[in-house]
């Protein structure tokens, strides 16, 4: 099997991350570190590990391209991804390989996780009201479950809860069918990949917190990040059918999600008095999926700016 680690300027995390890989009780794997154009001390940090890993340097093209570069040279039938700032429990690979080997019909396996770097007393599966536990499941081992949905893609679109890359193990043959990560997406390429995989393959999971996800204060979202987040999700949902065919039900849910992100982008611009761009987003939102709220804000983009500001003041006064 193959472990793929994309890394960009994560030299101060990599030693701890690589130590968690080296400590795995399962030993029959290769480790591929894709350096995505780092400008920090990554090369020096990984020097003691050079005899244990395949180190590939390239220009900065983003996480999707880095993972794809790893997939192109990976020799394993099973692929595990690890973000360069996350950590694995020593039993992580052992548990997943055992599950995948005993259930060849399963294409994707993920594990539970815990966060570190911030106070947390719950596992990842318990976050957001246990969103990752809402999928239909059947127990197949001591802490192992297979998702039983007859249309997993529809459930994924509806519940909007996805395993993160460091939790995943995927058969190489799955990528041969659905293709590699979408390099046009600067974020959420892993979400899109889960949607594409859910169209064709069975998912299973190990309900043990075998991954530690690092919470980083340097990635806290700003207003500009919120706009980028919405715009990339718009792009993802607009292009999803370019990657996989959608049923009428899947397309309907996708359009509703697309509409919600278009509305979010339109609302953000409306709040900053960028009425022309707000109107464009809101018009597209209504075309994707009509809502009265979207129509109301769309209509208000035609009001003079000073009227809109007056309405905001009145709304705040009423709310007090």
What does the pLDDT read at residue 218?
Answer: 60
* Same structural domain, 133 and 266: no
CB–CB of 2/54 below 8 Å?
no
CATH of the domain at 73: 3.90.550.10
What does the pLDDT read at residue 220?
Answer: 44
pLDDT tens-place string over residues 92-119 = 999 999 999 999 999 999 999 999 876 6
Number of domains present in the structure of the chain:
2
pLDDT band at 90; cut points 50, 70, 90: very high
The SS3 of residue 3 is strand
* Same structural domain, 9 and 130: yes
What does the pLDDT read at residue 227?
Answer: 79
Q: What is the mean pLDDT of residues 163-167?
A: 97
* Same structural domain, 203 and 238: no
pLDDT band at 120; cut points 50, 70, 90: low
* Same structural domain, 15 and 142: yes
What does the pLDDT read at residue 225?
Answer: 75
- At residue 162, φ and ψ (nearest 5 deg) are -135, 145
What does the pLDDT read at residue 223?
Answer: 56
Sort 269 into a burial class: Cβ within 10 Å, 0-12 / 13-18 / 19+.
Answer: buried
Q: Which domain holds residue 59?
A: 2-219
pLDDT tens-place string over residues 46-83 = 999 999 999 999 999 999 999 999 999 999 999 999 99
pLDDT of 140 > 50? The answer is yes
Q: How far apart are CA 1 and CA 248, in angstroms?
A: 37
- At residue 9, φ and ψ (nearest 5 deg) are 50, 45
Would you state the structure tokens that stand for residue 38, as one six-digit string? 């780092």
* Same structural domain, 11 and 152: yes
pLDDT tens-place string over residues 215-268 = 866 654 455 677 788 999 999 999 999 999 999 999 999 999 999 999 999 999
Ramachandran class of 168: left when φ > 0, alpha when ψ lies in -120 to 50, beta otherwise: beta
Could you write out the DSSP letters of every residue in 99-142?
A: HHHH-TTEEEEEEEEEEESS---S-GGGHHHHGGG-S-EEE-SS
- Show which of 193, 219, 245 is a domain's final residue: 219
pLDDT of 155 > 80? The answer is yes
pLDDT of 160 > 80? The answer is yes
pLDDT tens-place string over residues 170-217 = 999 999 999 999 999 989 999 999 999 999 999 999 999 999 999 866
DSSP 249: H
pTM: 0.91
* Same structural domain, 156 and 44: yes
């Amino acid at each position: 099997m193959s472990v793929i680690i994309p890394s960009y300027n994560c030299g101060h995390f990599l030693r701890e991350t690589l130590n968690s890989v080296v400590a795995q009780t399962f030993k029959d794997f290769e480790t591929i570190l894709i350096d995505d154009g780092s400008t920090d001390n990554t090369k020096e940090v990984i020097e003691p590990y050079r005899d244990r890993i395949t180190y590939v340097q390239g220009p900065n093209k983003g996480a999707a391209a880095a993972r794809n570069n790893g997939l192109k040279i990976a020799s394993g039938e099973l692929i595990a991804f690890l973000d360069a700032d996350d950590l694995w429990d020593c039993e992580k690979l052992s548990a997943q390989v055992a599950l995948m080997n005993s259930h060849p019909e399963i294409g994707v396996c993920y594990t539970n996780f815990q966060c570190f770097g911030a106070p947390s007393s719950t596992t990842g599966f318990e976050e957001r009201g246990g969103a990752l536990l809402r999928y239909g499941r059947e127990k197949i081992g001591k802490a192992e479950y297979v998702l039983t949905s007859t249309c997993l893609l529809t459930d994924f679109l509806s519940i909007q809860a996805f395993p993160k890359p460091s939790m995943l193990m995927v058969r190489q043959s799955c990528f041969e069918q659905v293709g590699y990560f979408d390099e046009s997406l600067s974020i959420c390429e892993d979400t899109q990949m889960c949607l594409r995989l859910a169209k064709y393959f069975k998912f299973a999971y190990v309900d043990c917190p075998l991954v530690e996800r690092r919470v980083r204060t340097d990635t806290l979202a700003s207003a500009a990040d919120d706009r980028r987040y919405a715009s990339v999700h718009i792009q993802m949902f607009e292009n999803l059918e370019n990657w996989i065919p959608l049923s009428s039900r899947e397309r309907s849910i996708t359009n509703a999600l697309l509409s919600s992100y278009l509305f979010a982008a339109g609302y953000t611009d409306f709040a900053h008095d960028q009425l022309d761009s707000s109107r464009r987003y809101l018009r597209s939102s209504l075309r994707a999926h009509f809502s009265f709220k979207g129509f109301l804000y769309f209509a208000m983009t035609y009001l003079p700016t000073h009227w809109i500001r007056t309405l905001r003041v009145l709304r705040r006064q009423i709310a007090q």
